[in-house]
Chain A
Amino acid sequence: MLEIRNVSRRFGDFQALNEVSLQVQAGEFFTLLGPSGCGKTTLLRSIAGFDTPDSGDILLDGKSLIALPPEKRPVHTVFQSYALFPHMTVADNIAFPLRLSGVGKTEIERRVHEVLDDVRLPDKARHYPEELSGGQRQRIAIARALVNRPRLLLLDEPLSALDAKLREQMQIELINLQKEVGITFVYVTHDQGEALALSHRIAVMNKGEVSQIDEPSQLYSSPKNRFVADFIGQCNLIEGKVVSSGTATTRIAIEGLGELSVQSNPAIDFTPGDDCALTLRPEKIRLAKNVAPTSDEVHFPGTVHDMLYLGDVTVYIIEVNRDGTPVLIEALLANSAPGRARLLDTGDAVEICWPHDAGHLVR
């Protein structure tokens, strides 16, 4: 439906986009995720028409958008600052695109009320933007961008100005709204949690390139590279060298931990001697004073180096030191049972273990 084909863009010495290609399906909630400067906003602006790529093409339903100015593209944007017209009422703001495209008066009224119902603000039509709260302004901005039924809705970090509670509520509303209207959403954010919660698929971007495009759960469990592993969620990145590689398991040597077996990554062809990194989610690690490892688990003794009490969970940084090279590994304990919060203390001797297939090997 939307196709980005080898799009590159350079600002002076800065390569904002480098040969980016991706496809978004009709009706999809697609997210461009990455740190600031990764090119996600440049890509969004290119789709909207505010920026023109140096090379490559952007196609919507098979037709190139490149030559069209923003006002001629069947694409609307929800801006980060909302960009509501302060001199117009909510109803006039929403009617703005309809009036421009010459929709009749009664039809405008009907559609304004319809979309205000959609965003659950039916009684705010006569208000001015300055009289609304941040969350309400956000919904009006979405209503205004949706009312003309664009083929594609672009959202540029639309929730970044809201506080955490409201953001979560708006996330749920966004998911429901997108389902309801059935319009393709392309969403830009630097917040990985937001991306995981909202999207059907996510393109993780780094330094102007797409690192990985996948469903949220795939992205989380099988990151393709260190960047994705590190960017999505908390992750232990343990550097090592490949000793031998097989189809099912690969043996790697890690300084400080020794040799251990991990599940092979079918996507990467390792040869012995290659540098690699084991990505290991903290919640996959079992942690206790005495763990009784099963035969398919690896197991290390260590001490509690640091701890962070976060309310629902406590994060422990465990130092494993077998041969003089200390390795720090992050593990979690849920504070679900009473007394769990202070189960371990800094300096305590503990044991950690994880199944062979818990880690994910990347280059």
Chain B
Amino acid sequence: MSRFQEKGARFLLTLPPAAYLLLFFLLPGLMMLLASFRFPGDYGGLAPWYYLEEGSLTFDLTLENWARLFESTLYLQLLLKSLLFALLTTAVCALLAYPLALTIAASPKRHRELLILLVILPFWSNFLVRIYAWMIIFSPQGALTEGLNQITALLGLEPVNLMFSSVAVITCLVYVHLPFMVLPLYANLEKHDPALLDAAQDLGASRAQRFWKVTWPLSLPGLYAGAVLVFIPTLGIFAIPDLLGGTNGIMIGNVIKQQFVESRDWPFGSVLSLVLTGITLLLVVIAGRLGRTPGALT
């Protein structure tokens, strides 16, 4: 193949993904960016952003929507809280998923597929149905709350209410996103050459040293991949805080949804969305950098 042909082939190959990104990411993003400078329409939606009257063109754009973000600390606080929730969810997922992935990767080959199947089994039932199940678990008459309150009563403490709390939201966030952490971690750990651990042991490393000096650094790309897969959807989620969070548990996703659906303020909704997208992209870039350890398995 000539150099020219090679270049042409490469161009043709990159065309479909480039077109996809342009059509479904860049273009909507630009539309959102434009919307964030427009006025809301009288009955929702967006007002026209330019007028053509008697041959003269006037633009009808504003910075007001962006200014509103900083008018009160409410939105930034909510953003910070959402980041915290997402971070906490990611951390708890990592803490739970790591031993699980390690156990699956270390189990005999014939058991692994079954164990992975069990990890993804919850996906077979509807997302909302699973959240409703948690509503039942957390309900004030539920066995969990009743049981907990029997203990608190014995200890002379105030009874607790799990429903409509941050605890309920984070628990459910962890539950829903755990497989997204387990799968990339498992995919990474499963590829580790067992001879490396033998070599480390042979050279004098104890069990803990083998883990921290060999398994752990090699698993970081899997951990970062899992963290991104958990963190991003968690940051923008609204269904779980809607159903389980009450007023205390709401996140930035709820406010964005509110702007588009209830308040019919698309421009401000766009502002909040763009801020969220920006933060997400920044974190993905950071995670990508961290994940690029030389020799590490991706």
Contacts and interface: CB of A to CB of B under 8 A. Distances in A.
B192 to A, nearest CB: 10
Given A86-B218, A148-B203, A128 B295 contact: yes
Given A48-B202, A70-B202, A100-B205, A83 B195 contact: yes
Interface core residue of A75, A76, A80 (most chain B CB under 10 Å): A76
A174 B195 CA distance: 22
B156 interface: no
A87 B217 CA distance: 7
Interface in B188-225: 193, 195-196, 198-206, 209, 213-214, 217-218
Given A50-B198, A129-B295, A83 B193 contact: yes
Given A87-B218, A129-B295, A130-B295, A79 B199 contact: yes
B293 interface: yes
A100 B218 contact: no
Interface residues of B, number: 22
A83 B295 contact: no
Nearest to B214: A85
Pick from A80, A87, A128 the residue with the most CB of B within 10 Å: A87
A136 interface: no
B293 A87 contact: yes
Given A100-B209, A128-B295, A144 B203 contact: yes
A100 B203 contact: yes
A145 to B, nearest CB: 7
Contacts of A227: none
Contacts of B214: 85
Contact of B202 (A76, A85, A101): A76
Interface in A115-130: 128-130
A97 interface: yes
A71 interface: yes
Contacts of B218: 86-87
Given A79-B195, A79-B198, A100-B209, A86 B203 contact: no
A81 B205 CA distance: 19
B293 A148 contact: no
Given A70-B202, A86-B297, A100-B209, 6 more contacts: A71-B202, A75-B202, A77-B202, A87-B218, A97-B204, A128-B294
B196 A71 contact: no
A50 B195 CA distance: 11
A231 interface: no
Chain A: number of interface residues, binned into ranges: 20 to 34
A150 to B, nearest CB: 9
A96 interface: yes
Nearest to B220: A87
B108 to A, nearest CB: 15
Given A71-B205, A128-B295, A96 B200 contact: yes
A45 to B, nearest CB: 9
Interface of A: 48-50, 69-72, 75-77, 79-81, 83-88, 96-97, 100-101, 128-130, 144-145, 148
A100 B196 contact: no
Nearest to B197: A83
B198 A83 contact: yes
Contact of B199 (A69, A83, A100): A83
Contacts of B195: 79-81, 83
Contacts of A101: 204
Q: What 4 pairs across the A-B complex have the smallest Cβ distances?
A: A86-B295, A83-B199, A97-B203, A83-B195
Contacts of A69: 201
A76 B198 contact: no
Interface string B268-298: 0000000000000000000000000111110
A130 B298 CA distance: 14
7 contacts: A70-B202, A76-B202, A77-B198, A77-B199, A85-B200, A96-B205, A100-B205
Contacts of A130: 294-295
Contacts of B199: 77, 79, 83-85
A127 to B, nearest CB: 10
Contacts of B193: 81, 83
Nearest to A48: B202
B292 to A, nearest CB: 11
A79 B202 CA distance: 10
A84 B200 CA distance: 9
Contact of B203 (A76, A80, A128): A76
Nearest to A89: B294
A144 B200 CA distance: 11
Contacts of B295: 85-88, 128-130
Contacts of A70: 198, 201-202
A71 B204 CA distance: 4
A48 B295 CA distance: 27
Contacts of A97: 203-204
Nearest to B192: A86
Contact of A87 (B201, B202, B205, B296): B296
B204 A100 contact: yes
Contacts of A85: 196, 199-200, 213-214, 295
